[in-house]
Structure 1
Amino acid sequence: MITLAAVIDQFQSDFLSEYQSRLRSNQISALHAMKSCRTQLSPVMQVNCADCDYQTFVPHSCGQRNCPHCQHHESQQWIERQVQKQVPADYFMNTFTLPAQLRSLARQHPRLLYSMMFDCAWATLQSFSKNDKQLQGDAGAIAVLHTHSRELNYHPHIHVIMPAAIVDKIKKLWRTKEGKYLFHHKALAKVFRAKMLARMNEEKLPFPKAIPEKWVVDCKFVGAGDKALIYLGRYLYRGVIREQDILSCQNGKVTYRYQDSKTKRYQTKTVSGAKFLWLVLQHVLPKGFRRARNYGFLHPNSKGVIKLIHSLLKFDPTKILRALKVRPAFSCKCCGGAMVVGRRQIPRVEIMFQPLPT
């Protein structure tokens, strides 16, 4: 398998000479972090067997949230947290897409535009929930920002997973809406567009010459919601491409594959090494920006409400957790016992006299 670190090592100089002027400081930091991920350049941690005297040193992962080589444990933890908040209701995935005419503005002001997308998407869904004849209350939602298409092009959009259910705080009622229809996607798009343009006006952002009248919002039924959460969670902390999808790296070019969203078949694309690194690094988010957010009664501050709903409706979300794959334990090569981390972030120079595992 070709690692992203190996691609960076081979094409970093070409990439920087061509794209240096377009890079932000956090993108350069991400480049250097992913280059050293679990390589001879990274620090190591000492692990000891709990049952025998065996010890070894393991290369550290870089911890960069755009790195496809690590962050698997963080992804699993996020999925578990969200599944524990599941409620007995039909779930829907609403996808709010930023039109192409505004994407250059998003590149210039990513933190502001992405925050606006989150705020306006949630405000739109909250208003529809309060005005819906069957719901008429406060909704709950889990929103995740994606900035890439399957082909790795720049395509900012927000997935919002929400149950067709509300909490009526005044009457203290729990209401649900049954069926595979939640809200009309064209109506959602109109309100989302109006809210985004109003915020742009408030922030005094320059309007492009042509803003489309019709924006795209998709509203899709996703059953109990667990599969949609697992899908989003798996791509939340692992960057924009899996390393097994990097097929070749030779003659100054990189070939990778992606799944076509319409045909569901895999397609391949070949670009220069520098171009490939730009396709990956253009999706690095501003430092500290949260790309996953919870709203309404699914907010972390509403744990008491969730527990009450589970108790009153006798709903146990842990049944779904049992079906998730458990993270494999790090076992001892000598006796098979559990390995325990002793020290972290040890510089390579301290253990150069000891052999490292390949």
Structure 2
Amino acid sequence: MGRPALEVADVFHQHGPAWRAAQRGHLSLGQLKVMSAIELCRSAALGGHVLRCEGCGTDQVSYNSCRNRHCPKCQSAAAQRWLDARQADLLPVEYYHVVFTLPAPVADIAYQNKAVLYGLLFDLAAEVLLTIAADPKHLGARIGATLVLHTWGSALTHHPHVHGIVPGGGLAPDGKTWVACRPGFFLPVRVLSRLFRRRFLEELWRLHAGGKLQFFGEQATLADAPAFKRWLAPLRRVEWVVYAKRPFAGPQSVLAYLSRYTHRVAISNSRLLAMDERGVTFRWKDYRTKGRTRHKAMTLDPAEFMRRFLLHVLPTGLHRIRHYGLLANGCRTASLALARELLQVVPEPVALDSDAGASDRPQPATFVCWHCGKPMGIVQVFMRGSAIRAPPP
């Protein structure tokens, strides 16, 4: 697959130095690291190796990736590794896609308190799902959920929300039966929305009272408790967006969906259309319109494009994929084994490397020649900052 005609790295290369100088003191260390990583990704500065085709003898230089989780070029391989590990977690049941979104005023506060409020968004979305599912009036079961954080809208604006992938059922309270959802229906979204709104506002007030929130710029007055209380009041009366999409067609479609969502970054290189005297032009989707007209092109000044892109740099150590309930890391293996037993699913045998003949099976080539499709071998490795020598004869 060839290099895209335009990349985010190209925008940073051409306009980044002047913009960094103009924004000196206003960019966080995390944002500066992301810019540097994307600029250096798959360049000689990070080192790499020289490959030689076993068939046609073609030599190819391959540079190392930055592996930064915000880099558009580094996420496809990471997503595939994660998906391979999740294959064994799928159950033969309907899966549902549930989305919890923060309203715009709360999103503004969340940007100034990313670690605290993004974590709260995760935990309360999971709490609401597990609470309503456990209610006998709805499902009456212990469920599991995988939640993925996205902080952007299609136009790169700050729009924090979590996507939840949830099996359509769970374990009965006594753990002796599997309780399935009604076909095509998971949980009532209005009930989910009301509980999510109440719990989030309760926790916001508790965090404010404990001095755990910071406010800057136009939001600085909210540091005062009475002002913050007045600010919260209208949020109790508006609807908070929670919705559930129709169930996936099957477990494999769940994986296909996850492959698009789990390691997505704010904008992929494939969405970039042009960079010229007008600015940076990219494709976006206007969800307020329907049909083909919702796919549009937007042009931003390079400085504004970079500003919007860096809005979505996550705090160091914040996990953007989390598992809850039956799928929580501490109990996932045992919970899924019990679920398969109750669903009467026979797990597929796993071939171990120690099995007879396992070492004799042909392994797929790590590197494949673009010209003839034959395997390529490494003939030279060079470290960061070192020059490439001529490949050995």
- Class of the TM-score when normalised by the shorter of the 2 chains: 0.7 to 0.9
- The answer for the alignment partner of 1:165 in structure 2 is 169
- Displacement of 1:66 after TM fit? 1.1
- Going from structure 1 to structure 2, the CA distance change for 1:277 and 1:336 (only over 3 Å counts) comes to same
TM-score (structure 1 length as normaliser)? 0.86
- The answer for the alignment partner of 2:318 in structure 1 is 289
- Displacement of 1:202 after TM fit? 2.1
Please tell me whether the aligned partners of residues 161 and 225 of structure 1 are also in contact (alpha carbons under 8 angstroms).
no
- Going from structure 1 to structure 2, the CA distance change for 1:254 and 1:332 (only over 3 Å counts) comes to closer
2:106 to 70, 93, 102: 102
> 2: CA distance between counterparts of 1:154 and 1:317?
42
In our comparison, the structure showing a higher alpha carbon Rg is 2
2:40 to 36, 42, 51: 36
Residue 98 of structure 2 aligns to a residue whose secondary structure is: strand
Residue 209 of structure 1 aligns to a residue whose secondary structure is: helix
Code of the aligned partner of 2:390:
Q
- Going from structure 1 to structure 2, the CA distance change for 1:305 and 1:243 (only over 3 Å counts) comes to same
* 1:70 pairs with 2:74: yes
In the alignment, structure 2 segments of 5+ residues that lack a partner are 214-222, 349-363
Please tell me whether the aligned partners of residues 134 and 175 of structure 1 are also in contact (alpha carbons under 8 angstroms).
no
Code of the aligned partner of 2:37:
A
Code of the aligned partner of 1:148:
W
Alignment of 1:196-275 (within 5 A): 196-204=200-208, 205=213, 206=223, 207=228, 209=231, 211-212=234-235, 213=237, 214-223=239-248, 224=250, 226-251=252-277, 253-261=279-287, 262-263=289-290, 265=292, 266-275=295-304
- Displacement of 1:42 after TM fit? 2.9
Code of the aligned partner of 1:263:
K
Please tell me whether the aligned partners of residues 79 and 230 of structure 1 are also in contact (alpha carbons under 8 angstroms).
no
- Displacement of 1:20 after TM fit? 4.1
- Displacement of 1:281 after TM fit? 1.4
Please tell me whether the aligned partners of residues 92 and 161 of structure 1 are also in contact (alpha carbons under 8 angstroms).
yes
* 1:23 pairs with 2:45: no
- Going from structure 1 to structure 2, the CA distance change for 1:218 and 1:234 (only over 3 Å counts) comes to same
- Displacement of 1:339 after TM fit? 3.5
Code of the aligned partner of 2:339:
I
Aligned length: 346
**Cα distance per residue 1:71-114 (max 9 Å; x no partner):** 21111122233343121222211111111011221111101000
* 1:330 pairs with 2:367: yes
> 2: CA distance between counterparts of 1:157 and 1:317?
34
Structural RMSD (CA)? 2.9
Please tell me whether the aligned partners of residues 15 and 278 of structure 1 are also in contact (alpha carbons under 8 angstroms).
no
Identical residues among aligned pairs (%): 29
Deviation larger for 171-180 or 307-316: 307-316
Residue 268 of structure 1 aligns to a residue whose secondary structure is: strand
Deviation larger for 265-274 or 69-78: 69-78
Residue 178 of structure 2 aligns to a residue whose secondary structure is: strand
- Going from structure 1 to structure 2, the CA distance change for 1:12 and 1:230 (only over 3 Å counts) comes to same
- Displacement of 1:255 after TM fit? 0.5
- The answer for the alignment partner of 2:89 in structure 1 is 85
Structure with more contact order per residue of length (Cα contacts < 8 Å, sep ≥ 6): 1
* 1:131 pairs with 2:135: yes
Deviation larger for 66-75 or 49-58: 49-58
Residue 300 of structure 1 aligns to a residue whose secondary structure is: coil
In the alignment, structure 1 segments of 5+ residues that lack a partner are 319-326
- Going from structure 1 to structure 2, the CA distance change for 1:45 and 1:121 (only over 3 Å counts) comes to same
Alignment of 1:132-147 (within 5 A): 132-133=136-137, 135-147=139-151
Code of the aligned partner of 1:237:
H
> 1: CA distance between counterparts of 2:370 and 2:384?
24
> 1: CA distance between counterparts of 2:10 and 2:257?
27
- Going from structure 1 to structure 2, the CA distance change for 1:328 and 1:200 (only over 3 Å counts) comes to farther
Please tell me whether the aligned partners of residues 145 and 166 of structure 2 are also in contact (alpha carbons under 8 angstroms).
yes
> 2: CA distance between counterparts of 1:159 and 1:300?
18
TM-score (structure 2 length as normaliser)? 0.79
* 1:303 pairs with 2:333: yes
- Displacement of 1:313 after TM fit? 3.1
> 2: CA distance between counterparts of 1:241 and 1:316?
41
